[in-house]
Structure 1
Amino acid sequence: MTAPVAVVTGAAQGIGRSVAELLATRGYSTVLVDLQELPGENAFVADVSSAEDVAALGERVRAKFGLVDVLVNNAGISLLQPAETTTADQWRRVLDVNLTGPFLLCQEFGQDMLAAGTGSIVNIASIAGLQGIADRAAYNASKHGLIGLTRTLAAEWGGRGVRVNAVCPGWVKTEMDVADQASGGYTDEDITSVNPMGRFAFPGDIAAAVAFLADPEASGFVNGVALPVDGGWTADGSWNSLRLRKR
């Protein structure tokens, strides 16, 4: 029996790497995609915001693996910048990577899934796609848009056998978090003090949710969801003194 094929973007580090590793342990042939070169014959370099790169990636993956069963759109960039000082170029770059890229990849690999009548797409959004978070206008807009894209494709493609869902992580301990904290935007305590579970997410927490949504046996009737994996962050309307009093 041929192993199912999963394409994971942004696979060099953080959530993407954890997702690829977990799917591999679940029996998937994992295709790793990133801007930086990765070792291994199943690794490809591509800029997800480039229509040309995505088309070339699709051709290469199709030639080597045939049908892709799972697409995980994880590649993304952050921008901590007040709205009034965010430049048009900064805005476009974040939207290009975080929203246009997933759209292009959904088109590229979704066409084969639709032809086969089966497949699962998992978009890595964010709780920033469910709430407004200050100093992240471009990032928030891109993730809100990604959830909108997820729901629209779920509506269009679900009846044709292709499920499309999103995972919405809270703050995760990754290289991106290290870089964002280095800019002075926030501290560990800023995150842990407002999270009901009192910690950051681990990349493995997000990978487990992705693996669930990828698996047709585990989640075959789950379509169009934006699943928060945030320790209850978006569920908690408490103020800090009340929240911390319960610990």
Structure 2
Amino acid sequence: MNTQTREDKTTLAGKHALVTGGGKGIGLAIASTLLEQGAAVTISGRNEHTLQDAMRYLHGKGSVSYVLMDVTDLHSVQQAFEHAIVRKGRVDILINNAGQAVSAPFLKTSADMWQQMMAVNLSGAFHCTQQVLPAMLEVGWGRIVNVASTAALTGYAYVAAYCAAKHGVLGMTRALALEVASKGVTVNAVCPGYTETDMVADAVANIVAKTGRTDEQARTDLAAGNPQKRFVQPDEVAHSVAWLCQPAAAAMNGQAIAVAGGEVM
């Protein structure tokens, strides 16, 4: 007989979550939501000023700290996780959110640009996952959520490198999910469409600069791919991520959940 209460299934109290790219945008929204659900949270990023601003925003919501981390640098990743574990204990929940998008026609995509997209979006998730998985397997519980993109599910013109990297993230998600399926650890991906973040603001600015469209026209064009004709909000992505972290979501494994208003089905 399962004596676990409903409260037990919906709380993350006693769990330590680490959110990469947690200083702003989707990562900051995820950190806030996990704190509200009782988890202790470590946010990471490359910019200490951004992380300190995030700490001020998160103040009073729960147990939160930050570590500097460049997900493309294995040594930086190893040091950051060591510091996070010393402060708050084993990482039970890993949110691989750090990401970057650069757009260019395929023939103008340099080898350096290609490698940068792979390093940030794919290798970064690989490095971080390797840091937490042994302890998760040892205790028989863990949640890994990779924040991918609808670019992991379909193609978009002028972002071949980004699409390839995010498709790689989804492939890694599915392969690892099968490896750990019987060991109490789940691995899933959340795939947002265009979301109201700095990344989208940069895309809008790029469209304006290259096409002469107004800011409003550029935003409307980007949002048009969403059947709801709007940008996804960071909190909407965060709640999807947090649900996958719940004990009650144990049967969710190897999934790619599109948070995109029906853009990808």
Cα distance, 1:70 vs structure 2? 0.6
> 1:242 corresponds to which residue?
none
- RMSD over aligned Cα atoms: 1.5
Tell me what 1:223 maps to: 253
- Is 1:35 matched with 2:46? yes
Q: For 1:92 and 1:192, how far apart are their aligned partners in 2?
A: 28
In 1: Cα distance, 2:220 partner to 2:126 partner: 35
Matches within 5 A, 1:20-99: 20-37=31-48, 38-39=51-52, 40=55, 42-99=65-122
Matches within 5 A, 1:1-247: 3-37=14-48, 38-39=51-52, 40=55, 42-184=65-207, 187-217=218-248, 219-235=249-265
The whole-number CA distance in structure 1 between the counterparts of 2:223 and 2:107 is 28
Q: Which amino acid is 2:256 matched to?
A: A
| Structure 1 gap ranges (5+) | 236-247
The 2-side partners of 1:179 and 1:13 are apart by 14
- Which amino acid letter does the alignment assign opposite residue 193 of structure 1? A
Do the aligned partners of residues 165 and 2 (structure 1) sit closer, same or farther apart at CA in structure 2, a change above 3 Å counting? Answer: closer
The share of aligned pairs that are identical, in percent, is 38
Moved beyond 4 Å, runs of 4+: none
The 8 Å contact of residues 244 and 252 in structure 2, kept in 1 or not, is answered as yes
TM-score (ref. length: structure 1): 0.91
Contact 2:13 2:39 in 1 (8 A): no
- Cα drift, residue 191 of structure 1: 2.7
Structure 2 distance, partners of 1:196, 1:140, is 21
Residue 2 of structure 1: how far off its partner (Å)? 6.2
Runs of 5+ unmatched residues, structure 2? 1-11, 56-63, 211-216
Q: Residues 194 and 223 of structure 2 are in contact (CA less than 8 Å); yes or no, is this contact kept in structure 1?
A: no
Paired with 2:22 and 2:223, the residues of 1 have a C-alpha distance of 26
Q: What SS does the aligned partner of 1:132 have?
A: coil
In structure 2, what is the Cα distance between the partners aligned to 1:191 and 1:8?
Answer: 27
Can you list the C-alpha shifts for 1:7-29, whole angstroms capped at 9, x where unaligned?
Answer: 00101110000000111111111
The structure-2 alpha-carbon separation of the partners of 1:2 and 1:125, relative to structure 1 and needing over 3 Å to count, comes to closer
Separation in 1, partners of 2:23, 2:176:
27
The 1-side partners of 2:45 and 2:133 are apart by 19
Taking the aligned partners of 1:168 and 1:210, their CA distance within structure 2 comes to: 10
How many residues end up aligned between the 2 structures? 234
Q: Is the 2:97–2:147 Cα contact (8 Å) retained in structure 1?
A: yes
